[in-house]
Structure 1
Amino acid sequence: MRAPGLTAVLVVLILSLTGASVRAQTPNGVTPLDHLPALRGDYFRIDSDATGRPYHIYVRYPEGYDPAADVVYPTVYLTDGDSLFPILAANHLFLHYDERLPEALVVGIAYGGFDASVNRRNIDFQSPGEGVEQAGAEAFQRFLKAELLPRIEANYRSDPQRRVLFGQSRGGAFVLYSAVTDPDLFWGRIASNPSITPGIESLLEPAAEATRADLGVVVTSGTRDRPDLQAEAVQWIAHWENQSVRPWRLHPVRIEGGTHAANAPDAYRAGMLWLFGRESPE
């Protein structure tokens, strides 16, 4: 019988050789997504002047995408692309198949890691308010408006009239900040289980004027999310439902059994179907 120590050495040797072979085929140690057709698309890094940090941008192409064709697609921008892009970008294909949702470009905005030294979602998505030390939402929105959106729309078949912004938790709070401060920037917005405290004060201020009448905001809340976050969502929704004038249609959604993060695909599905008028019958 082979000694356990020798077996371990052989396993390590095989893995090392396999890794060396893979690295030889993928320069810089980057593993391509070429063999995952549901995520077929593009990638680029952008160094933001607005926030002073880099972002890794992943672009998922619609099925049958032809950059030379005379067609433009709705474009969905995902905050927290590090985790949400591979989930929601791939799932969009099934929504297209099963729910007749229009195909779309899906753009994931990623930091490149979850470590706090790299991932600055706690700053970028934070709206100003009482007790807030670093509110970066205004700078992050400038990054979207002046740097990322123009680049996407210059280089891909992206429809500027049908931009959608999706955010989860603190990213959902940024979605609401964007809706209040610059309604026209996105045609549709989906805030999934938004975490809006601290900083709720700026999300209740009078909204900026919009130049178009077809804007929509969806706020989803899971029934198994934290009670305080559910209460915050109820407060925000009630405030805006009581306004005689607001720049967008508002659609609250309760996701039965939904938790804080694991039901992001359900929030995406519910929000996208409502925005595109494709709600499934009960």
Structure 2
Amino acid sequence: MRIILGVFAAALLAGCATPAPPRAAVTPLDHLPALRGDYFPFRSREAGHDYHIYVRLPQDYAAHPARRYPIVYLLDGDSLFPVVGGNHIFLTIDDKMPEVIVVGIAYGSFDKPINRRHIDFMPLGPDVKPGESRIADFHNFLERELIPQVEGRYRADPAKRILFGQSRAGALILYSAFKQPDLFWARIASNPSWTPGEDIFFGAAPAATRPDLQLLVAVGTEEYPDRRIKAGEWFSHWNARRTPWKLTRIDIPGGTHSADAANAYRAAMRQLFLTN
């Protein structure tokens, strides 16, 4: 009898409890102050695809309405925007890094065909079939659509425009450096994929008008052996030749292929803002 009464009482109390508020369809990033900023969807005519654009604004953005900030465009924003964008606040605390605007370019899913990093970031090569690469279209999306939209909305300093990418997106970084070097002041490739694309990456050095361009390539010491070998070959090739960018190799001690993207970002940003 006591068990029955206990169950009845618990059910009665549960019925009197205040119901939980309905969950919002989208949780605002305003409740995550390290990522506070903005979001907007973007339909690209150039790439023929939908993207989700997340913007992390500096902590002091509202307090300095006349200031313009360096701006970092992050590829693979689905995974890297929360990690790298949120971590930048700690770089300003520990490393005295300048504040920056961080823009995450996301697909909204890790699953194909919504996520198509395998197409957007795929360089051309002898084994790439027609339709398997849209890298030129994606780069046009960056140049002609996204950058004007973002830098028209937010107080970015176009003279300090940075592009960051990891793995296959790192190949897009190299492609961008060769195809349109003046578009970004600095490019950071973390453990980039080297194939396909060797015809571009080992090809003729591009012409540029800016004298201050930077290309930083981070390689983890625990990166896949074949990719470390290829990175060494690439650096040996270009260290002996004239380039339009200042070329910097950064080795990440203990760094693996994917898990150290934030460490690569930190090391490269320190090189750009605290060493140069």
Q: Is the CA contact (8 Å cut-off) linking 1:39 and 1:60 kept in structure 2?
A: yes
Q: Provide, for residues 106-125 of structure 1, a one-character-per-residue CA deviation record: whole Å limited to 9, x for no partner.
A: 00000000001110000111
Q: Relative to structure 1, is the Cα distance of residues 158 and 247 closer, same or farther in structure 2, using a 3 angstrom cutoff?
A: same
**1:276 aligns to what?**
273
> For residue 145 of structure 1, what is the amino acid of its counterpart?
E
**2:183 aligns to what?**
185
2:86 equivalent to 1:90: yes
Q: Relative to structure 1, is the Cα distance of residues 170 and 67 closer, same or farther in structure 2, using a 3 angstrom cutoff?
A: farther
Q: CA deviation at 1:56?
A: 0.2
Compute the RMSD of aligned alpha carbons.
Answer: 2.1
Q: Provide, for residues 236-271 of structure 1, a one-character-per-residue CA deviation record: whole Å limited to 9, x for no partner.
A: 22222121x211000001111101111111100111
**2:128 aligns to what?**
132
Q: CA deviation at 1:68?
A: 7.5
Q: Is the CA contact (8 Å cut-off) linking 1:124 and 1:140 kept in structure 2?
A: yes
Per the normalisation by structure 1, the TM-score is 0.88
Q: Is the CA contact (8 Å cut-off) linking 1:173 and 1:195 kept in structure 2?
A: yes
**2:109 aligns to what?**
113
% identity of equivalent residues: 51
Alignment match of 1:150 (pick from 128, 148, 157): 148
**1:214 aligns to what?**
212
**1:22 aligns to what?**
22
> For residue 270 of structure 1, what is the amino acid of its counterpart?
A
**1:230 aligns to what?**
228
**1:203 aligns to what?**
201
> For residue 210 of structure 1, what is the amino acid of its counterpart?
A
- Comparing 74-83 and 209-218, the one that deviates more: 209-218
Structure 1 residue ranges, 4+ long, deviating more than 2 angstroms after superposition: none
Q: CA deviation at 1:198?
A: 1.8
Q: CA deviation at 1:31?
A: 1.0
Q: Provide, for residues 174-232 of structure 1, a one-character-per-residue CA deviation record: whole Å limited to 9, x for no partner.
A: 10111111111100111000012122212222132111111111101111111111122
Q: Provide, for residues 11-61 of structure 1, a one-character-per-residue CA deviation record: whole Å limited to 9, x for no partner.
A: xx99xx64xx233xx3xx111111111000000011001110010000000
- Higher Cα Rg: structure 1 or 2? 2
Q: Secondary structure at the match of 2:176?
A: helix
| Aligned pairs for 1:49-68 within 5 A | 49-66=45-62
Q: Relative to structure 1, is the Cα distance of residues 67 and 127 closer, same or farther in structure 2, using a 3 angstrom cutoff?
A: farther
Tell me, in whole angstroms, the C-alpha distance in 1 between the residues paired with 2:203 and 2:70: 29
Q: Is the CA contact (8 Å cut-off) linking 1:67 and 1:156 kept in structure 2?
A: no
2:170 equivalent to 1:172: yes
Q: CA deviation at 1:98?
A: 1.1
Q: CA deviation at 1:67?
A: 8.6
> For residue 33 of structure 1, what is the amino acid of its counterpart?
L
> For residue 31 of structure 2, what is the amino acid of its counterpart?
H
Q: Secondary structure at the match of 1:135?
A: coil
Tell me, in whole angstroms, the C-alpha distance in 1 between the residues paired with 2:205 and 2:44: 26
Q: Secondary structure at the match of 1:34?
A: helix
> For residue 85 of structure 1, what is the amino acid of its counterpart?
F
Q: Secondary structure at the match of 1:260?
A: coil
Gap regions ≥5 residues in structure 2: none
Aligned pairs, number? 263
Gap regions ≥5 residues in structure 1: none
Q: Is the CA contact (8 Å cut-off) linking 2:97 and 2:274 kept in structure 1?
A: no
